[in-house]
Amino acid sequence: MQILGERRFVEILADWGLHEAEGRLREILPSELTPAAAGPERVIEGLEVAIRNRSPLVGRLLLAQPRGALRVGLAPEEGDALYIFDGQTLRAWSTAILAEETPEGEFVRGLVHSDVPVAGPFVCMVTVPDGDLAHPKGPIVLYDGWHRAAAWFKHCQSGRPYPILADLILTNGPDPLCPLLFAQGGDPA
């Protein structure tokens, strides 16, 4: 992992909300929640979208007690150490979503078959209660970008490796649901 710079938690949430508003939620957001194309209110509007539309995940991140955040570059070999917020490994989830005959599966297959590298950033977290990123207490867990992460992972597996951006939220404790999920589906250590 290459550390590219520091971020603020609220910046990550605002960017997440803007990404959602311009992507998956574009057709269903009420007009009063649609962020402006530019202007000083855009960041606040993105934050509003994230809080209202991704509140279960934002709540889990808040319960883990954010202590800081970084923009990082994830190397291809780090893909096997990533987990989706539901407790699955990125490897297992990538295989499952690519086999699905759903719009989501079709979307990921389209990304995989494209010659264009997948774009980040992903939103993820890691527990570092002592602040030492070299000794995390558990895995890196993805909260946003798992479809893109699946395609990136498959690109890397198929001989097209490249690093990808991630916004990594550093927390004092784990996501309160992750230990339960990991206990059912694998060992996150």
Show pLDDT as tens, one digit a residue, over the chain (189 residues): 888 999 999 899 988 888 887 766 656 666 666 656 667 777 778 788 788 888 888 888 999 999 999 999 999 999 888 999 888 899 999 999 999 999 989 999 999 999 899 988 999 999 888 877 777 888 899 999 989 999 999 999 999 999 999 999 999 888 887 765 554 444 444
- Residue 186 pLDDT: 47
- Residue 74 pLDDT: 93
Separation between Cα atoms, residue 48 and residue 35, nearest integer Å? 9
The closest of 163, 151, 148 to 113, measured between CA atoms, is 151
- Residue 49 pLDDT: 78
Rg of the chain taking only CA atoms, in angstroms: 16
- Residue 175 pLDDT: 85
- Residue 51 pLDDT: 84
- Residue 179 pLDDT: 61
User: What residues pair up with 83 in beta bridges, in sequence order?
Assistant: 89, 141
Strands 82-84 and 122-127: unpaired
Count Cβ atoms within 10 A of the Cβ of residue 58 and give its class: 0-12 exposed, 13-18 middle, 19 or more buried.
Answer: buried
Residue pair 167/140 in contact (Cβ under 8 Å)? The answer is no
- Residue 30 pLDDT: 61
